Amino acid sequence: MPLAGKRILLVMSGGIAAYKSLDLIRRLRERGAEVRPVMTAGAQQFVTPLAVGALSAGHVYTDLFSREDEQDVGHIRLARDCDLVVVAPATADLMAKMANGLADDLASTVLLASDRPVLLAPAMNPKMWAHPATRRNVATLRGDGLAFIGPNAGEMAEGGEAGLGRMAEPLEIVAAVEGLLDGGARPLAGRKAVVTSGPTHEPIDPVRYIANRSSGRQGHAIAAALARLGAEVTLVSGPVTLGDPPGVTVVKVERAEEMLQAVLAALPADIAVMVAAVADWRVATPNTEKIKKQPGEGPPPLMLAENPDILKTVGHHAKRPKVVVGFAAETQDVESNGRVKLQKKGADLIVANDVSPETGIMGGTRNSVKLITAGGVEQWPDLSKDDVAGRLAGWIAERLT
């Protein structure tokens, strides 16, 4: 239990992301931490103190002027009697108060009175996060030595909006908590990771190729999530229309053989996450000129050759990373095929999903995955691909810390 005996003061402010804090409490406690929640009036509009108290198994603090809680100057005791303060969600309003030293409720007063490390998990609309006032406040808080996790990019609760502003996933926050309590804000700092993403294009002739519908969104999101936790990430990407993730070294390739060579060049590494939808076959001898239709003749035969198995190569390599994760995109028997792949490829984890056309997963923005390990299967709910990435990065960090 990596957080056994640690006391976490969890400050919850008002935002729809407060529902994630319920899972965060559970994740912290199952790792041995004691969680004391402080809720603003806004937070209580989204989740109830009753639910928070049930999960934390303790008192929930809500009122600066509580006669019971303040008889021994309770806000000072809360501020000091902990190992770490986590603010999740951290709204633009609460961060503005913190940056300017305001203390007009229990949460802001505790934060001003605390001399403990503070980790903030911002959550707000992308326009609010990008606003110059918020940027100034974030810069001030960073300058004051406060640590941040997130925000992540993705869809907002308000329909039709997307961008940077989603609260980090609970497992990401847990990983950051463990890193801070170990003396560093980023639990994957000093670790090297290689991630593959997107499809491969296997040429038939100069204008045609064999490919698939992979967009690269999931792989790119995972590379970004690992980088946020401090990893030095090399992203080997097939042809995609996405921008390069921030803080990531990107190697762009087209063919499976090129992807394999780029992955091997990135070893040794601590982490390998093989997300790319690599074509299983290639044309043995691509035409050097465009193949022309001939009147009265059918299509020319294509002689196919098997492409290298990148995941299997990495899983059994002499420089095998400590954590090897593979993806299994299936259209039937998802779990059983994932179990077979786990065994054959030498992976620690297979992330399996159903990519049948009706799911909209391949090429889409959401994913529904099963985590398959030697110890069992864990089903995750339907999530955005950014949320899957955040959870997976936290899962990986746990196994390396």
Whether residue 112 is annotated as binding a ligand: the answer is: no
| 63 marked among binding-site residues | no
Answer yes or no: is 290 a known binding residue.
Answer: yes
Residue 222 annotated in ligand binding:
no
Nearest to 275 by CA among 383, 373, 367: 367
Flag whether 327 is marked binding: yes
CB 387 within 8 A of CB 218: no
311 annotated ligand-binding residue? yes
Ligand-binding annotation for 308, yes or no, is yes
List residues with catalytic annotation: 212
Q: Which residue has the tokens 């792989």?
A: 219
Which residues contribute to the annotated binding site for CTP? 280, 290, 308-311, 327, 341, 345
Which residues contribute to the annotated binding site? 280, 290, 308-311, 327, 341, 345
